[in-house]
Amino acid sequence: MTINKQQLKEHQDYWDKGADIYDGIIDNEIMNDSYGKWEAILSKLLKDKPSLKILDVGTGPGFFSILLSRMGHQVTAIDSSPEMIAKANKNAIKYECDISIIQSDILDYKPTHSFDLIISRNVTWFLPNPVAVYERWHSWLGECGQVIIFDGNWNLFLTDPKEAALFKLAMQEAIAAGYVPYRTEEEISEGDHIALTLPLTYVKRPAWDIGLLTHIGFQQVTSLHGFDVELQSRPEQILNKYRPMFAIVADK
């Protein structure tokens, strides 16, 4: 699937509108115990390898980039949203991190060197062409490089009646427990409309990703589950109990 310039602008505008909100969220993550929990998760996955060349795809305001830079890695961060890039630059300065931050759509990006690791969090669900992106990632990795994807079946409820019923129940329970959506109803509706144009809204993950990554040529592809519970508030745990986050680790 390809998108035209108008659709690309719509996608950028959607994330631009959320930049302030997500900036506040990652500020809280850096200041509360989420930071240490994510650091432990990433340290375990990276096996404490030093000074990796890392590409953070869809960096947003830069949480993973800041965390990985502080862990001693050489980080390049990209995002298609101008406002997200502005937040990432601000936060790199604020937290005194040396990060190469670039505004680019993923399929327009032209790396100048190979990477040891390509990583993303809550990004791949939004890819218009995940096949092309995963193929590019494989080609951008150096020998023994690795891809780590954190994501979830966030929008499967839009296309699967069973998932829709479960999500409706979970949302009701979460609101009763104090959950407050962090985007407006209009923005949520806009996000749902965009999601319905994206291929990963229609497949069950991570099985779909594992099959594709294996087909592309990754030598070992595994998925991880259950690590996200302690990263969420109680209302968020209720909201996402039927659509938990997963991690995919793919070794070249």
Which stretches of the chain are DSSP H helices? 5-17, 19-31, 34-46, 63-70, 82-94, 130-140, 161-176, 185-195, 207-216, 234-239
| Angle, helix 34-46 to helix 63-70, in steps of 10 degrees | 60
Chain-wide mean pLDDT for the chain? 96
Q: In this predicted model, what pLDDT tens digit does every residue of 61-103 receive, in sequence order?
A: 999 999 999 999 999 999 999 999 999 999 999 999 999 999 9
Tell me the residue range of the domain where 214 lies: 5-251
pLDDT for the residue numbered 226: 94
pLDDT for the residue numbered 23: 97
| pLDDT (mean) for 178-200 | 95
CATH number of the domain bearing residue 52: 3.40.50.150
Tell me whether strands 141-151 and 115-121 are parallel, antiparallel or unpaired.
parallel
Number of domains in the chain: 1
Cα separations (Å) of 103 from 41, 56, 135, 202?
A: 27, 12, 21, 28
DSSP letter at 113? S
Q: Reduce the DSSP state of residue 127 to 3 states and report it.
A: coil
